[in-house]
Each structure stands twice: as structure tokens, then as C-alpha cells.
Amino acid sequence: TLIVKMTQQMQSLHLSQSKKMTSPSSPNAAKRLYRNLSEKLKGSHSSFDDAYRARSDQFRKSSVNFQCNEALFEAVEQQDLDAVQILLYQYTADELDINTPNSEGLTPLDIAIMTNNVPIARMMLRAGAKESPHFLSLESRSMHLNSLVQEAQQRVSELSAQVLSERVSMENSDKEKQLKSWEWRYRLYKRMKTGFEHSRAPEAPTNVCLMVTSNTSLTVSFQEPLSLNSAVVTKYKVEWSCFPDFSSMAGEIIMDNLQSLRCIITGLN
């Protein structure tokens, strides 16, 4: 008997408050890079390759890791599929720092999944993107999303009151910009929270096949579920047991490389 199912491995989030940004806005350089991507894609180029070649030299002159990591976050948050595609095509996963969580403890893949952007999430998975290592359970992720929504809501309330009470000044103009940024961030976190709360597990994988590989090993292969229920599968877990009711587990394998839905169970007697 074999059980194959999707799991999400998360760890408890322990982020220092000192890492929290006073403003949610990305650095100007990253914003310029993101805008350059978006504007080029809206231009007269007839194909993705044309846009890629036209920007190739300019991209390589940029400060790669930090700016492109911030640009990737912003493209995912803006749900700009074309910009994400160019960044993933132009840079390696290491250059993009694709799996380093931001100050909120989230990776670009986390944001794509929780905003239910399946095309971007699948594209990033193919590029080697991973979920944040800061979550151990669904409960910890839910609590963290709640705290992000509450913090953004509080910042919006505070800045709104300050903008209304102060006279027109340069300082007030800066606060208005911060207010707009936090209002956008508040809407993003609410959308992520809603997506997370309404997510459903996909159906079971299909065409599961078990083959004898040797005297001490078996090969398991399968295909994606027929219905994903609008979910994004980030990993599968293969478990095996000597008991029909799986009352005692003999072992398990976590499959997070989705390029090949096949694994080999070794060391069997």
C-alpha cells in the first residue's frame, strides 16, 4: 500500500522587530528596474525574445542581487507575469536571490501562492523557488498573516490621522507617500490572507505506479492530480509502511523537485 500526498513544510516565524522596514516601499533602484521591465513589455517589441535582447546589456550593468531581488518581489506583488518571466530568463536563481525571505519573512513564491497566482507560482517553481523556511505549521502562517494585516492597518490609521492633522508641508508630503504605500500593502496582505484562508488541498495524484527496481528497492511514479482546486503543489510526500492501515510508518520521502514525479525507495528488506 502506498500513500502519496501533498504537504507543506513550514517553520515557526521568529523575526527580529529591528528587521521591519519603516516603509514598505522598495528601493528606488529596484522600482526603476521593475518599471523598465514593464515599459519595455508594453512597447513595440513583437516577441519576448526581442524585449529580452533589447534589455540584456542594460540589465547586466545593474547591481544584480539586491536590485533584482527587490524587482522580483515587486513584479510578483503586482502580478506582472511578463516582468517575472524576463527576470527569471535573464538572471539565475542565485543572482535573483530567489529564496531569501524579505523583512516580512516571505519569499516571492509565498506571495504568488497566497495571492492565488498559479501561472507565476508554477513559473517560479520551475526556476527553483521555494517556500519560506520560517513556518512550521499552517497555524503559524495564519498568525503571521494576521499580524501583517493588523500592522499595516495600524500604520494606515496612524498616517491618515497625521496627514489630516498637519498643515501642508514637505514632511506631510512624505507622509502622504508613506500612507499610499501602506494602503497598498494593507490591500496586498488582506488579499494574501483571504487566499490562504480559502485555499483547499488538491485531489490525490493520478496514475500512481509502483515498480520493483531491485531486491531492496522500489520505484514510485505518478502524475499531477486531475483537479488542483486552484492550488499550487510545491512538494509531494511519499510514505511507506509494512502495515495495511499505516499504523506504523517505515519511512517517507519529501519530493520538492517537481520536474520528475518519480522517486526510488531504497534499503528495503
Instruction: For the chain, 269 residues long, give each residue's pLDDT as a single digit of tens.
Output: 444 333 433 333 333 333 334 444 444 555 555 555 555 444 444 455 555 555 555 545 445 566 788 889 999 999 999 989 989 988 888 888 899 999 899 999 999 988 888 899 989 998 889 888 887 788 888 999 999 999 999 999 998 888 887 765 555 678 888 899 999 999 999 999 998 888 887 788 889 999 999 999 999 999 888 766 667 788 888 998 888 888 888 899 988 887 788 999 998 87
- How far is Cα 37 from Cα 50, in angstroms, rounded to an integer? 13
Q: How many C-beta atoms surround the C-beta of residue 259 within 10 A?
A: 8
Report the candidate in 101, 99, 146, 104 with the shortest Cα–Cα distance to residue 17: 104
* 229 burial type by CB count under 10 A (0-12 exposed, 13-18 middle, 19+ buried): exposed
For residue 252, report the phi and psi dihedrals to the nearest 5 degrees: -155, 155
Q: What is the pLDDT of residue 157?
A: 93
pLDDT of amino acid 110: 93
The contacts of residue 117 (CB under 8 Å, 6+ apart) are 76, 79, 81
Q: b/e string for 192-226 if b means 16 or more Cβ within 10 A?
A: bbebbeebeebeebeeeeeeeeeeeebebbbeebe
Side-chain-facing half-sphere of 220: CA atoms under 13 Å: 21
Grid cell in block for residue 144: 503571521
User: Look-up: residue for cell 528587521?
Assistant: 19
Three-state SS sequence of 64-96? HHHHHHHHHHHHHHCCCHHHHHHHHHHCCHHHH
pTM: 0.69
Q: What's the pLDDT score for residue 5?
A: 39
- Provide the pLDDT for residue 269: 77
